[in-house]
């Protein structure tokens, strides 16, 4: 099994959640469909922890600059996207993508209670041939106008 490392410096890319609310946060990837109970779901790892989680994380780092992520992954908050909410697997968030995460207290612990995907937008392709034709037409008009 492949080992994934976390650099201490990477913690600067994580956010601290200190209170309940809805926040835009980055994901750290989405796991495969979890089916070990009657509630099939995708686990979405968030680049978020509590202040206490970060303090424990730094204790585990100690003097090291890099550690196995498995040693600290439990200190970061994850959320759930239920299988019936997913029409197409390509809609699942990828690492680094923004989502809207709702945090609230569950059994006196701040947890992610809901994740909403932010709709993706498609960009238009650069139309080189159209630009080239427009530039040539403009150039020809300017040259012909000077004669």
Q: 111 pLDDT band (50/70/90 cuts)?
A: very high
pTM, two decimals, is: 0.80
Domains, the chain, in order of start with CATH, read: 5-120 (2.40.50)
**pLDDT at position 102:** 98
Q: Is pLDDT at 12 greater than 80 in this prediction?
A: yes
**pLDDT at position 145:** 64
Q: State pLDDT tens for residues 46-101.
A: 999 999 999 999 999 999 999 999 999 999 999 999 999 888 898 899 999 999 99
Task: Enter the tokens of residue 90.
Answer: 């390509």
Q: Is pLDDT at 122 greater than 80 in this prediction?
A: yes
**pLDDT at position 44:** 96
Q: 146 pLDDT band (50/70/90 cuts)?
A: low
Reduced DSSP (H G I as helix, E B as strand, rest coil) percent helix, strand, coil of the chain, to 5:
30, 35, 30
**Burial class of residue 8, CB neighbours in 10 A (0-12, 13-18, 19+):** middle
Q: 123 versus 130: which is more confidently predicted?
A: 123
**pLDDT at position 128:** 74
């Amino acid at each position: 099994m492949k080992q994934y490392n976390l650099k201490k410096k990477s913690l600067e890319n994580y956010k601290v959640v200190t209170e309940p609310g809805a926040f835009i946060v980055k994901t750290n990837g989405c796991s495969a469909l979890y089916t070990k109970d009657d509630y099939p779901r995708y686990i979405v790892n968030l680049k978020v922890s509590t202040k206490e989680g970060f303090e424990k994380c730094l204790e585990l780092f100690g003097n090291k600059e890099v550690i196995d992520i498995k040693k600290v992954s439990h200190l970061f908050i994850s959320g759930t996207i239920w299988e019936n909410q997913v029409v197409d697997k390509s809609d699942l968030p990828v690492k680094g993508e923004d989502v809207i995460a709702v945090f609230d207290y569950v059994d006196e612990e701040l947890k992610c209670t809901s994740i909403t995907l932010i709709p993706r937008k498609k960009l238009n392709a650069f139309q080189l041939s159209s630009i080239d034709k427009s530039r040539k037409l403009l150039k020809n008009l300017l040259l012909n106008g000077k004669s």
